[in-house]
Amino acid sequence: MQNDEELIEKVAEKDDQAFYELFNRHEQKVFNLVYRYVGAYHEAEELTQDVFLKVFNSAHKFRGESKFATWLYRIAVNTCKNYKRKKQPTVVSIDDPEISTALSAPASTEPVAILAEKRKRAIIQQAIDTLAPNQKTAFVLSKYEGFSYVEIAEIMKVSISAVGVLLFRAKQELKKKLLPYKQRGEL
Amino acid sequence: MNCRRMRRYISRDLDGELDGIEKQALLDHLEICPECKQDYENLSSIINTIEPPAAIPAPPYLFQGIRQAIYAQKHQPFIIGWLKPAFVPALFLALFLFSAVISGPLVQRITPKPDKTDSADLELTLSLTVFDDAPAASFSNIYNNMMTRERR
């Protein structure tokens, strides 16, 4: 079985089979990374297509200085960041009337526990969405994708100590935003 | 070990990035610093609350969309593919040339024509024979002499 680096060399020669093989291997991870970054299913679908299209068109630029997966995730992260930069996200208020109405309305068919869980996720997601772009990227790669500092540094093309600083600041911001909810028992 | 450094250690510890020596230094500090200990507890409770969203399956037709996009790229008309990268510079060049071409006649049209009266005509116009009899050192005599020299 060929490794990713061998396959991408073939993709550079426009080998469709090699491209399909690479796509199969990484499709789920890339899609979920994008989905966790942008938070919307259809946008994640479009952006994932963009990512793999860029891989196909830029395969000749892969020089083997890093692992293929690192290069791929770098493309995915940059695609997400560009998308977010162009499109201001619609920030749903944490005290969204729809959510609080659903929680209090006796006619709601959704169990209260599920609604409370949704509200909790909305609170956390909003806090993460308001992080500075590089902090959010580092946090998502670390917390959601489980990458190490070394891997994050390769993906983001920054130093390992810079990754440490980004994650430190991200956590401080999240603590500032989320601690009040935690203390009120809403998280 | 100061608290500022320890707060960084706390962050790295939550990411599993401390080595053995650093971890021990952190634990020793937390035993003697209640503020850092509280900070550690607050931060870890927040971060541990944050769970990644459950992995969801990618749409089954994802590759079809990519294949269509690649096909569309391959089969776009050659001229468009050739022109695309040159389009913006060509547009700027065209605008520049257009502005250069129209600016010439436009400037000519709005610039007032200089008076074509030459000095000889001017001299005749301004010649004042009334000064012919003026004293030698007078301004009018000097003027007449000046005009005479020019005529020569």
Domain of A148, CATH number, reads 1.10.10.10
Indicate the residue type of A119: R
Give mean pLDDT, residues B48-64. Answer: 88
| Statement to judge: residues A101 and A58 lie in one domain | no
Last residue in a domain, options A91, A110, A128: A91
In CATH, what number is assigned to the domain containing residue A11? 1.10.1740.10
| Statement to judge: residues A78 and A158 lie in one domain | no
| Statement to judge: residues A85 and A98 lie in one domain | no
Domain count, chain A: 2
Q: How many CB atoms lie within 10 A of CB A69?
A: 18
The fraction of chain B above a pLDDT of 70, given in percent, is 60
Tokens of A64: 């083997």
Helix, coil or strand: residue A179? helix
The string of pLDDT tens digits covering residues A135-173 is 999 999 999 989 999 999 999 999 999 999 999 999 999
| Statement to judge: residues A13 and A76 lie in one domain | yes
pLDDT for the residue numbered B100: 79
Residue B149 has pLDDT above 60, yes or no: yes
| Statement to judge: residues A98 and A73 lie in one domain | no
pLDDT band with cut points at 50, 70 and 90 for residue A97? very low
| Statement to judge: residues A101 and A59 lie in one domain | no
Q: Check CB contact under 8 Å for A48 and B17.
A: no
Last residue in a domain, options A91, A126, A156: A91
| Statement to judge: residues A6 and A97 lie in one domain | no
Tokens of A16: 């469709």
Closest chain B CA to residue A124: B50
- What is the model's pTM? 0.68
Last residue in a domain, options A91, A112, A143: A91
Give mean pLDDT, residues A14-31. Answer: 94
pLDDT for the residue numbered B94: 83
| Statement to judge: residues A121 and A81 lie in one domain | no
| Statement to judge: residues A107 and A73 lie in one domain | no
The string of pLDDT tens digits covering residues B93-109 is 888 888 877 776 665 66
Q: Check CB contact under 8 Å for B46 and A174.
A: yes
| Statement to judge: residues A173 and A158 lie in one domain | yes
Q: Decide if A149 touches B, using CB distance below 8 A.
A: yes
C-beta of residue A153 within 8 angstroms of C-beta of residue A159: yes
Indicate the residue type of A144: Y
Q: Which of A14, A24, A31 is best to mutate for the B interface (most B CBs within 10 A)?
A: A31
Contacts B66 to A, Cβ<8 Å: 23, 49, 52-53, 56
Q: Which of B39, B46, B84 is best to mutate for the A interface (most A CBs within 10 A)?
A: B46
Q: Which of A52, A143, A175 sits opposite B52 (nearest CB)?
A: A143
- Short-list A140, A138, A164, A162, CA closest to A152: A138
| Statement to judge: residues A77 and A100 lie in one domain | no
The fraction of chain A above a pLDDT of 90, given in percent, is 63
Q: Check CB contact under 8 Å for A53 and B15.
A: no
Residue A82 has pLDDT above 70, yes or no: yes
HEC per residue, chain B: CCHHHHHHHHHHHHCCCCCHHHHHHHHHHHHHCHHHHHHHHHHHHHHHHCCCCCCCCCCCCHHHHHHHHHHHHHCCCHHHHHHHHHHHHHHHHHHHHHHHHHHHHHHHHHCCCCCCCCHHHHHHHHCCHHHCCCCCCCHHHHHHHHHHHHHC
pLDDT for the residue numbered A104: 47
ipTM (interface predicted TM): 0.78
A14 CB-near residues (< 8 Å, 6+ apart): none
pLDDT for the residue numbered A169: 97
pLDDT for the residue numbered A114: 82
Tell me the C-alpha distance between B37 and A100, whole Å: 35
Q: Decide if A181 touches B, using CB distance below 8 A.
A: no
Alpha-carbon gap: A181 to the closest alpha carbon of chain B (Å): 10
Q: Check CB contact under 8 Å for B53 and A142.
A: no
Q: Check CB contact under 8 Å for A148 and B17.
A: yes
Give the domain range for residue A167.
Answer: 92-187
| Statement to judge: residues A122 and A165 lie in one domain | yes
